Structures are given as C-alpha cells and as structure tokens.
C-alpha cells in the first residue's frame, strides 16, 4: 500500500547542509500496523512529513497505492504530537472534526461522519465543547476523531501520546487498537517509546542514528487482541522489547530475539 524507496532528505546546502535521512526503504501492506522507532533526533518526524507530502525529499520516492506522493494525498490523514497546535481553540470540538470535511458531501453527511467519529473515540456528547475545556487526553482524542471522520485509507501518527500521562497513554493505545480493528485502517505510528511500539505493532521498523537508514524490521508475532497487563506479561513481549532496546542503544550487539521468529 505504501512504499518508501531510497528516500533521503537534506536540509540546506554546501558546508552547512544537514543530512537528516540518508537512505530509507521499506513497505507497508494494507491493514498493517507498523511502528517506527529510533534514537532521539534520528529524523522520525522528518520521515513522516516527507512520506505525507508535507516535505519534498532530496532523493528517492514515496508511493501510495502505486502513485507517487508529491503532496498530501487524499487517502491519508495525520495525527500530530502537539494536539494544542493542531486543534483550533476558537472552534468547537465538532467544528474541529468537521473542518477537513468542509468540501465533502452534504452538511447532513458531514455531521453524521463527525458524530460517528466522536463516538468511536469516546467523546459522544462533547461536540459543543471547546478544546481548551478538555483534558490533554481528550484533546488528542479529538485530533484522532478528526482523522477518522476523513475516512482515510492510512493514518500517520507522529508520537501522538508523548504529551499525556502514563494511564492516559495506555487508554489511548487501546483506543487506537480498537480503531484499527473497527475501521480496518492502515496505521503508521512513530514513537520513541519501545514498549508502545511492541505493544501496538505488527512490525517495528528500527531506524539508526543520523544520517538515518533502516537498521532492522522486526515482526511482532504477539497474539491479538492485546491487553495492557496480559500482553506485557508474556515472555515474548519481554524478548521483543529487549531486542528493540539493544538495536537502538547497542546496535552492534543485536542478535535475533530469543524464542521469537
């Protein structure tokens, strides 16, 4: 569904040029949940912005459904880390969710899509509130609802839970798994949290230090549905988590995770 082929991104030119992404290649199949992890500052957000058409790559290509991405595709929605910047404080929750739909369908159809999206993220009845009246976790739910109302084929999420507390983060992780199941949407999820990547993903793409390349792609064969307690108590979860940690912190010492294909 989504193909990244020898993607690179350099900021500036000459002696002051900074190569954020060196040479990245990987693919995502329809319906997959793929997490991207890597060292701090390795270019994860740059990668996501380049994949979504918000930044032009220096070289290489991104293809969605076989078509080259040269700008933000209609089939794609993004959820950013900083929900306080991505939501319009002067608009109600319902108006924020409806905003990307303003050129789609009738008013009745748009309102139906908004109501369904808000219900899906547990915010039924909050449509007339304003973002500043909600908690951080609820604001991020609004941002997710806005992406869902758009009915994308693929949802890109850039460290969306980095600014919330641990309990809210766990609740939002489970919400995203439910959304993936209910909507059948393909998800590419950038995170710096190793536990989160293993808990959520079908596969984890591990990036190297800058200039960034794909260091490894790791399958996560943990059973679904997943549970915050039961899944994280599995020996396989611990093996996978340790493997990802070593790959990021001590890449030269990485071997295949014990007992996991």
Task: Tell me: do 32 and 120 sit in the same domain.
Answer: no
Mean pLDDT of 41-68: 92
Task: Look at the block and give the residue holding tokens 């060196």.
Answer: 22
Q: Is residue 102 part of a domain?
A: yes
Task: Tell me: do 168 and 243 sit in the same domain.
Answer: yes
Give the SS3 label for residue 248: helix
Task: Tell me: do 124 and 64 sit in the same domain.
Answer: no
pLDDT in tens, 176-228: 999 999 989 999 999 999 999 999 999 999 999 887 889 999 999 999 999 99
Query: In this structure, what DSSP letter does residue 19 have?
Result: E
> Residue 204's domain spans which residues?
1-42+52-75+154-261
Q: Considering 104, 125, 151, which residue would you say is the last residue of a domain? A: 151
User: Which residues neighbour 185 within 8 Å (Cβ) at sequence distance 6 or greater?
Assistant: 148, 152, 153, 154, 155, 179
Q: What angle do CA 237, 178, 52 make, to 5 degrees?
A: 90
Task: Tell me: do 113 and 219 sit in the same domain.
Answer: no
Query: 255 pLDDT exceeds 70?
Result: no
Task: Tell me: do 248 and 168 sit in the same domain.
Answer: yes
Task: Tell me: do 110 and 179 sit in the same domain.
Answer: no
Task: Tell me: do 144 and 201 sit in the same domain.
Answer: no
Question: What is the greatest pairwise CA distance in the chain?
Answer: 58
Q: Considering 151, 169, 198, which residue would you say is the last residue of a domain? A: 151
HSE (side-chain half, CA atoms, 13 Å) at 114: 23
Task: Tell me: do 130 and 206 sit in the same domain.
Answer: no
Q: What is the pLDDT of residue 252?
A: 62
Q: What is the pLDDT of residue 257?
A: 57
Task: Tell me: do 142 and 106 sit in the same domain.
Answer: yes
Please enumerate, as own/partner, the contacts of 80-83 that have beta carbons within 8 Å and a separation of 24 or more.
80/143, 80/158, 80/160, 81/158, 81/159, 81/160, 81/162, 81/163, 82/163, 83/131, 83/136, 83/139, 83/140, 83/142, 83/143, 83/160, 83/163
Q: Is residue 47 part of a domain?
A: no
Task: Tell me: do 119 and 193 sit in the same domain.
Answer: no
What's the domain count of the chain? 2
Q: What is the CATH number of the domain that holds 8?
A: 3.40.50.300
Task: Tell me: do 208 and 257 sit in the same domain.
Answer: yes
Query: 24 pLDDT exceeds 60?
Result: yes
Query: 1 pLDDT exceeds 60?
Result: yes
Task: Tell me: do 120 and 188 sit in the same domain.
Answer: no
Radius of gyration for the chain, computed over Cα atoms and rounded to the nearest angstrom: 19
Q: What is the pLDDT of residue 81?
A: 80
Mean pLDDT of 136-145: 92
Pick the most confident of 43-52, 100-109, 224-233.
Answer: 224-233
Q: What is the pLDDT of residue 251?
A: 63
Angle, in degrees to the nearest 10, between helices 136-149 and 166-183: 10
- The pTM assigned to this predicted structure is 0.90
Task: Look at the block and give the residue holding tokens 């909050």.
Answer: 126
Q: Is residue 80 part of a domain?
A: no
CA 176 to chain centre: 10
Mean pLDDT of 239-260: 75
Model confidence band, residue 261 (pLDDT cutoffs 50, 70, 90): very low
Q: Is residue 82 part of a domain?
A: no
Q: Is residue 81 part of a domain?
A: no
């Amino acid at each position: 569904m989504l193909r990244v082929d020898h993607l690179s991104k350099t900021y500036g030119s000459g002696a002051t040029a900074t190569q954020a992404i060196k040479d990245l290649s990987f693919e995502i199949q329809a319906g997959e949940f793929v997490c991207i992890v890597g060292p701090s500052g390795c270019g994860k957000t740059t990668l996501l912005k380049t994949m979504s058409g918000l930044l032009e790559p220096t070289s290489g290509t991104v293809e969605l459904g076989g078509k080259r991405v040269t700008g933000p595709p209609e089939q794609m929605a993004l959820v950013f880390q900083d929900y306080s910047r991505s939501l319009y404080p002067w608009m109600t929750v319902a108006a924020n969710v409806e905003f990307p739909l303003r050129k789609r369908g009738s008013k009745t159809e748009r309102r139906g899509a908004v109501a369904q999206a808000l219900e899906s993220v547990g915010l039924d009845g909050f449509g007339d509130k304003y973002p500043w009246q909600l908690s951080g976790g609820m604001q991020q739910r609004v941002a997710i609802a806005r992406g869902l109302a758009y009915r994308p084929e693929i949802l890109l999420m850039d460290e969306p839970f980095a600014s919330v507390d641990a309990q809210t983060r766990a609740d939002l992780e489970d919400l995203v798994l439910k959304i993936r199941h209910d909507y059948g949407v393909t998800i590419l999820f950038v995170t710096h949290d190793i536990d989160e990547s293993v808990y959520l993903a079908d596969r984890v793409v591990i990036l190297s230090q800058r200039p960034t390349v794909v260091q490894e792609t790791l399958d996560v064969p943990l059973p679904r549905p997943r549970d915050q307690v039961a899944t994280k108590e599995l020996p396989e979860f611990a093996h996978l988590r340790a493997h990802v940690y070593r790959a990021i912190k001590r890449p030269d010492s990485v071997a295949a995770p014990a007992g996991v294909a």
